[in-house]
Amino acid sequence: MRTGPVLLVEDSEDDEILTLRALKDARVGNSVTIARDGQEAIDYLSKTDNDLPAVVLLDLNLPKVSGLEVLAWIRSQPRTRLVPVVCLTSSTEQRDLLAGYESGCNSYICKPVEFTEFSHVIAQLGMYWLLVNEAPPS
């Protein structure tokens, strides 16, 4: 199990609750840090005191600083550039997908409407990024 929190960047309170619930259901032990918008996410990641997240779950449709801008910032910072970022969004638009991957996301997940499916996806994410995937050397 990778140490470090899961950074959830999500402006929707509903989605936040649902995501937390899903993570809990999936028995992810890592702490979860919430950022309500892009700026908060950047602020959090900027503080060297804070632990580097094990994975960033990034909504793309964010107020103030957009998800893609946050992603670009993460990839631009030497400290954060290797952090796995999963785009977690409602959009299945091709251009959003393309933009996500081009900006350097490691995974792109469309949030399903059905909660069972949603939970399933989140569980898989946790399993994959926190257990299966070998993290880059810090």
Partner 1 sequence: MIWLGAALVAVLAVMAVASLVYLHHQAVESGEDLTESLAQVVEEQTARTLQSVDLRLQSLVVEYQRLSEANQVDQQATQALLRRALADLPFARGVFIMNAQGQVVVDSGLGNAGGDGSDRDYFRMYREQSKAGLWIGPAIVGRKSGQPVFPAVRPIYSANNTFEGVAVAALAPGYFDRVWRNVPIGEGGVIALFRKDGTLIVRSPPLKESVADKNVGEDGLFKEDIARSATGTFMQTSAIDGVHRFIAYRTVTTQPDLVVIVGRSYEVAMQEWTRFAWLAVSIFVIASVATVLLSLSLQRTWNLKHEAEMQQRQLADRLSVATDAAAIGVWDWNIATGDWFATPTYFTMLGYDPEAGRKHHEDWLNRVHPDERQAIAATVDQVFAGQSDTYEFEPRMRHSDGSYRWVNLMGFVLGRDKSRRPTRIVGVKIDITDRKTYEIALHETNQSLLNLNETLEQRVQRRTSELRAAMRELDSFSYAVAHDLRAPLRGIHGFSSMLEESLGENVPADAANALSRIKRAAGRMGELIDDLLRLSRISRSEMVVEKCDIAAMARTIAEDLAQRDSSRRVEFVIPDRLDVMADRQLVRVLLENLIGNAWKFTSKQQEARIEVGEDVREGVRVCYVRDNGAGFDMAYAAKLFEPFQRLHSVGEFPGSGIGLATVARIVSRHGGRIEGVGAVGRGATFYFTLSPPRSKS
Summarize as ranges the residues that interact with partner 1 (CB under 8 A).
Answer: 12, 14-15, 17-18, 21, 61, 89-94, 111-116, 118
Q: Rank residues 43 and 93 by Cβ distance to partner 1 and give the closer one.
A: 93
Distance in Å, CB of 129 to partner 1, minimum: 21
- When the beta carbons of 19 and 33 are compared against partner 1, the nearer one is 19
d(C-alpha 14, C-alpha 32), whole Å: 16
In DSSP terms, 33 is beta-bridged to: 7
Among residues 97, 93, 88, 86, the alpha carbon closest in space to that of 118 is found at 88
Q: How far is the CB of 135 from partner 1 (least distance, A)?
A: 29
Smallest distance, partner 1 to C-beta of residue 78, A: 32
Beta bridge partners of 8: 34, 57
> With respect to partner 1, which residue has the nearer C-beta, 50 or 61?
61
Nearer to partner 1, 85 or 88 (CB): 88
**128 CB-near residues (< 8 Å, 6+ apart):** 107
Strands 85-89 and 107-110: parallel
